[in-house]
Amino acid sequence: MIKFEHSVFALPFAMVGMMWGSLAHSATAWPGWKVFLLVVVAMVSCRSAAMAFNRIVDRDIDAVNPRTAVRALPAGLLSLRQANLFFLASCVVFVLAAVALNPLAGALSPVALVVTLGYSFTKRFTWLCHFVLGLSLGIAPAAAWIASSGALSWPILPMVAGVACWTAGFDLIYAMQDDDFDRDHGLQAMPARFGRRAALSTSRILHVLAIGFLAWSVVLVGGGVAAWVGVVFAAGMLAYEQSIVHPHDISRVNLAFFTLNGFVSIGFFFAVLVDVLVKR
């Protein structure tokens, strides 16, 4: 039911936020094993809680959608009780990890849960659901900055906006697969509400904004050449992603959604990692 590999979307950006926050707080990008492991546990458990909650809330919708009917709950591979237990356990692990990091991280952990869990309801009443999902991933680098520094500072906020725009942009592409189903069942995803062409145009604008925000974040933290290579690499991946999806041809959505976006996050992370190592 839970694809742990989906954490690859937000986790690399969280690692960037952790390194930059540690640099700002203690002049070293490595916050120590305790913080690193707690950030990983918090990220994976929060993502798992969000995905489990989404599957629980959407189980009836998934059951009648041919694309999602094979998921664990509608297919009967897991019981609702098992899913609920996993969801609750993930929430507990997340909150405990956040509390163990520092007081601010612990205090803000319920806010993170409200944002990440609340997304699951939004497509029932607003086409802005994609932006709520964007925010739920966008807060990851800020959360990791807080985890390693104990405070929230201005330089990480453009990255929050960048990840939010990037996520909303690729979610618009992903939602094009279900536009007919969503329209027939009263769901408010943007492709169903305004059509694929409008959704794809919005996705392209969001991805341009995402690169702009990432570049701004590099400027604010004083990133070097390697960090800028990461920005250029991310821009290239997003340009290619947009080039292979068209309103009347979504046959390569999985390549665009899963593979290329994984390259975006991991590629940017490694570029920043090289950048901070070079500066040591």
SS3 content of the chain, % helix, strand, coil (to 5): 80, 0, 20
3-state secondary structure of 151: coil
| Mean pLDDT for the stretch of residues 167-177 | 96
- Both tokens of 195, joined, read 């059509």
CATH of the domain at 35: 1.10.357.140
pLDDT in tens, 188-239: 999 999 999 999 999 999 999 999 999 999 999 999 999 999 999 999 999 9
- Number of neighbouring beta carbons within 10 Å of residue 96: 16
For tokens 């009347």, the residue is: 248
Half-sphere exposure of 5 (CA within 13 A, CB side): 5
Residue 176's alpha-carbon distances to 182, 252, 272, in angstroms, are 10, 11, 32
Half-sphere exposure of 121 (CA within 13 A, CB side): 5
pLDDT in tens, 56-101: 999 999 999 999 999 999 999 999 999 999 999 999 999 999 999 9
Q: What is the pLDDT of residue 4?
A: 62
Domains held by the chain: number: 1
CA distance 85 to 65: 25
Dihedral, CA atoms, 215, 216, 222, 223, nearest 10 degrees? -20
Domain that holds residue 35: 4-278
* pLDDT value at 119 more than 70: yes
